[in-house]
Each structure stands twice: as structure tokens, then as C-alpha cells.
A and B are shown apart, each in its own frame.
Chain A
Amino acid sequence: DDSKVNKDEL
């Protein structure tokens, strides 16, 4: 889902 996709940054 969208919020997971955006958690690839530190």
C-alpha cells in the first residue's frame, strides 16, 4: 500500500 512504499528512506 502507498504508505509502505514511501518508507524506503532512512
Chain B
Amino acid sequence: MNIFRFAGDMTHLISILVLLLKIYATKSCSGISLKTQELYALVFLTRYLDLFTDFISVYNTIMKLVFIASSLAVVCCMRMHRVVRRSYDKDLDTFRHYFLILASFVLALLVNEKFTFQEIFWAFSIYLEALAILPQLVLLQRSGNVDNLTGQYVFFLGAYRAFYILNWIYRYFTEQHFSRWIACVSGLVQTVLYADFFYYYFISWKNNAKMQLPA
């Protein structure tokens, strides 16, 4: 464990807590893509298949349970809660996310560390995580403005990826056998996807204006 990875896990956890805070505090999920949340829940469920078979550390197990529980909580809240679900931008959140699932699965069948059930689903979850933010970014683009908590949510998600890239660089130089090239390449793609959002987030923060994404 290094400070970059720990910081990455904490900002990842904060991003989910910010999301839960926004939904419970405002009793609204406007500006949040349900599809992105469903994709994230799928990412955690398919990545942590080894939750009960491989014990790595108490921290690792607890964080896996927290990520699975919180991502499912967001999806259930957005789908079930009678007040929250009314504020869901159903007609804006129209990204065909099934294509993302299919593309990630096909890629996982072709590119994986070992052609076993667990490894294929692990690679699938890595590829899907890189693409999962797309429906959310498209929704923000369409809704034009980004309210503070949603902007912070995407910001913390981006920070989590950036810390993980620092973690991989650190591990590359400190561990001789370290070779997580699938996660590294996919993580880089994911961070690039955030880059344009960060650009507009920074511009709006600098101008102290409400964040406007170009239509």
C-alpha cells in the first residue's frame, strides 16, 4: 500500500459519499446518470468476485464491501425511492450503455491475463470502469449546467484515477515484478475522458461562474 493508492481509494470513497449526500440531502437525482451508476455497480460486482475466495487484507475486504454496497445503494435509491426517482432526467440519460457493456465484454474475452472466468470478468470490470463515466458526461453536456455536488462527484472520481496513475508509476519503480498493464492502459484512457471535464470545471472555478459545458 502506498500513499497514492490510499489517497485514490479515499477520493473514490468520497466521490460516492458526495453522490449519496446529494441524493439524500436534496431528495433529487437530477443531473445524475442512472446508467453510469448501474455501470459502476456492475464494475464492482464483476471485479470483486474474489471477495470471498482470496483474502488480501482487512482494508481490502472492507473497502470492496463498501464500494459494492454504496454503488448498489445509489442505484436502488434512484430506481426505487418514490421522491428521488421523479427527479431523474430520464429523457436526457439516453446513452446506449448496453454497447459499453458489450464492447467491454468482447474486449475482455480477447485481452485478458488468463482465459479463466475470474480473469475475464476482472478485465471486463477494468474496461467497463474506463467507459462507465460516459453516460454521465453526456448527460452533463446535454443538461448544460453542472450543479456543485455533481461537479464535485466527477471531480473526485477524476482525482481517484489520477492518484491511481501515480500509484502505478510508483509501483513500477519500486516493485520489480509489477505489471498491471491492463489496468494501467485502461486507467489512462479513463483519465483522458475526464480531462476535458476537468478543463471546463477549472475554467468555471477560475471565473467563479456556474460551470457551463459547451452544448
| Nearest residue, chain B, Cβ from A9 | B5
Q: A4 CA to B113 CA in the complex, in Å?
A: 10
Surface stretch bound by A, among B20-28, B60-68, B81-89 = B60-68
Q: Are A10 and B9 in contact (CB under 8 A)?
A: yes
Q: Are A7 and B50 in contact (CB under 8 A)?
A: yes
State which residues 1-10 of A face B: CB under 8 Å. 2-10
| Nearest residue, chain A, Cβ from B119 | A3
Distance (whole angstroms) from the CB of A4 to the closest CB of chain B: 7
Q: A7 CA to B180 CA in the complex, in Å?
A: 9
* Chain B residues in 8 Å Cβ range of A2: 113, 177, 179
Q: Are A8 and B60 in contact (CB under 8 A)?
A: yes
Which of B9, B57, B60, B180 is the one whose CB lies under 8 Å from A6?
A: B180
Distance (whole angstroms) from the CB of A6 to the closest CB of chain B: 5
Q: Is B99 an interface residue (CB 8 A)?
A: no
Q: A3 CA to B64 CA in the complex, in Å?
A: 19
* Chain A residues in 8 Å Cβ range of B54: 4, 7
Q: A5 CA to B178 CA in the complex, in Å?
A: 9
Q: A10 CA to B60 CA in the complex, in Å?
A: 7
* Chain A residues in 8 Å Cβ range of B9: 10
* Chain B residues in 8 Å Cβ range of A6: 113, 178-180, 183
| Nearest residue, chain B, Cβ from A5 | B177
State which residues 31-82 of B face A: CB under 8 Å. 50, 54, 56-57, 60, 63-64, 67
* Chain B residues in 8 Å Cβ range of A9: 5, 164, 167, 180, 183
Q: Are A8 and B56 in contact (CB under 8 A)?
A: yes
Q: Are A7 and B178 in contact (CB under 8 A)?
A: no
Residue of A2, A3, A5 contacting most chain B CB atoms (<10 Å): A3
Q: A7 CA to B54 CA in the complex, in Å?
A: 9
Please give the residue numbers on chain B whose beta carbons come within 8 Å of chain A beta carbons, in ascending order.
5, 9, 12, 50, 54, 56-57, 60, 63-64, 67, 113-114, 119, 122, 164, 167, 177-180, 183
